[in-house]
Structure 1
């Protein structure tokens, strides 16, 4: 309901209730004054401002009650004209003002009733208890309504914040997935193009002199590009779909084919893989594969090495990876390869270190948890 309509109905109810009480006073021998009904109207009209100035409305109501009785108009009680003003103060978080206003009304009324000769026993046992009960009920109702309104507003704020957090989390998740896809594309394309480049160079030199070597080089190119194209197609499907399945991640089982492609490029590779099947979480296997892949790609591109040692060992709950070559060493290769390896490891709670070795060669070391949460 519109708040203004509620206020009008509440004001009308107060005015009508007070007017009915005035009209029902049949015990007075003197004629009733029509001015008493103006007070009833005033008590109702002042309620229209209860939302904007609740303490002022309560003050005017209390003073109006005192003025009404000072003019010796028919008794209307003290709680009935003030109940809406007391309720409004409590509802608008002015509870202390409501308690003070109710206390003043009760104290003043009790004083004059005793001064008029009303027996104290009757005052305490009936009239005082009735007035206090009505005043307390009005204040309690106002507090209850305010608390329910605040609880509802708080629930709405929590719902809005929860929805906002969900949207933010979804965006962050989407960003993380885009970064992951970018790393995968970099690793797949970088490795494949490095292998293709080496074998294309071999084929170019062998054409017309050693057709068998040229054919083997071209076959190696085909072997390297076929799985890469499969991974690229899977990645493209993920990018085109809002809720499609994730692209399959390679695992340590693919290291054999990876090492073979490096060997076919003319580099001797020694692979030591002491990891039991099922001993690692799938994301750890995928990260381990990508780290070895990028390290071997850098060997092809930058090191000038003739041999490389790849070692993967599960020690306790940690996966240790080492890729060591006998190349010229030097600073870390330019590009995103090393950065990508470091980021992969950090996201899983691991580390990657890479650098030239004393006496030549380059070493990449990775330390990853065997299982997520370990």
Structure 2
């Protein structure tokens, strides 16, 4: 018979210490406790000399031994326990109550989502015991109300405890999985931010390195200016890498966040939001682009996550223009209207040529925007060139990350 285990292996809370007690040790202790409890009840019978022979104590050991299979075969344990109780009374051994030997089996079944089995077994035991004590003709078979109450209480308590333990365990597992999902989402966000920042800075470095190489010996001032831009972009990239490493090395429960500075180079000088778009534009202008920026978003209009996402879309879009578009001009337009943020970055370059096959940059932008309840399109613009357009809510709805 195939059975489910009581616990879910491999799922543990992040950072949780290893389990101190082996579950097998716990089961052995429970088995001994069950056998001892039944044996004590047998020995306490007033007519133990007549009803409590070696066979009765063997049943006590049997009820205890069944506890040892509760993790591997809880339903088998439950069925064998119920049959064992009926057999025990059929042999007219000392009364031990119908529920006591089955408490561990009923609890185990309830703990692994076999609550119906647990209720059925408990109802069967109490019902059969009540029937025979009601119709019996001997004093021993007479119904004792307190025994009925005791049996019902034991069965109910075992089921309730099993369900409570299961729900508590499932809640811990759910919390652990939710924490892992949050951690993975945060790692993905950090990776996207680092991709955006480093990708932009490397594009700037590549362009200005080319300018410097062409100007050396012909226009040393232009070469020095280009190398200055390279130095600033390199400094910014190193700063972002150090910030990310510090973040990843920080305490597990500490605050989290992505790279904080702008892409152009000044450490901590450019905010990661629409307020930093001018710095992005300045970096692109220094690389030779004509950049027009039109931002019409009142202060305090956007949630922080929306503001940061809009910044990253502009950053990645400008990076793609610098890398692939062969453009001379790019227009960045951001407007807030009707509860939505409309963002568009369009250039006058060569459009979606072979170098602009959608890759991780555009895919990352699309995923970032979608997670916030928005949409993003990227492709050739009607009048030529390439355009990225994003539509985002101004505020996050409850439950959005």
| TM-score (norm: length of structure 2) | 0.71
Asked whether 1:145 is paired with 2:154, we answer yes
In the alignment, which residue of structure 1 is the partner of 2:281?
259
Q: Distance in 1 between matches of 2:388 and 2:54?
A: 88
In the alignment, which residue of structure 2 is the partner of 1:56?
87
Map residues 334-353 of structure 1 onto 2, 5 A cutoff: 334-353=358-377
Q: Distance in 2 between matches of 1:49 and 1:236?
A: 60
In the alignment, which residue of structure 2 is the partner of 1:7?
38
Asked whether 1:358 is paired with 2:382, we answer yes
Asked whether 1:295 is paired with 2:309, we answer no
In the alignment, which residue of structure 2 is the partner of 1:309?
331
SS of 2:137's partner is helix
1:49–1:57 contact (8 Å) kept in structure 2: no
Specify every segment of 5 or more residues in structure 2 that has no aligned partner in the other structure, as ranges: 1-31, 64-80, 107-120, 261-271
1:311–1:321 contact (8 Å) kept in structure 2: yes
1:292–1:323 contact (8 Å) kept in structure 2: yes
In the alignment, which residue of structure 1 is the partner of 2:267?
none
Give the helix-richer structure, 1 or 2. 1
Specify every segment of 5 or more residues in structure 1 that has no aligned partner in the other structure, as ranges: 20-36, 65-80, 111-126
In the alignment, which residue of structure 1 is the partner of 2:351?
329
Map residues 189-204 of structure 1 onto 2, 5 A cutoff: 189-204=198-213
The number of aligned residues is: 317
1:302–1:333 contact (8 Å) kept in structure 2: no
| TM-score (norm: length of structure 1) | 0.76
Check 1:231–1:277 CA distance in 2 against 1; reply closer, same or farther (3 A cut). farther
Larger Rg: 1
Shift of 1:40: 6.5
Shift of 1:101: 4.2
Q: Distance in 1 between matches of 2:213 and 2:179?
A: 49
Q: Distance in 1 between matches of 2:193 and 2:102?
A: 63
Q: Distance in 2 between matches of 1:234 and 1:98?
A: 66
Q: CA RMSD in A?
A: 2.8
> Which of 236, 239, 243 lines up with 1:227 in the alignment?
236
Check 1:219–1:103 CA distance in 2 against 1; reply closer, same or farther (3 A cut). closer
Q: Distance in 1 between matches of 2:102 and 2:127?
A: 9
196-205 vs 221-230, which moves further: 221-230
SS of 1:273's partner is strand
Shift of 1:313: 0.5
Shift of 1:258: 0.7
2:348–2:384 contact (8 Å) kept in structure 1: yes
Check 1:215–1:284 CA distance in 2 against 1; reply closer, same or farther (3 A cut). same
Map residues 247-286 of structure 1 onto 2, 5 A cutoff: 247=258, 249=260, 250-286=272-308
Q: Distance in 2 between matches of 1:58 and 1:305?
A: 93
Q: Distance in 2 between matches of 1:11 and 1:223?
A: 87
Check 1:239–1:104 CA distance in 2 against 1; reply closer, same or farther (3 A cut). closer
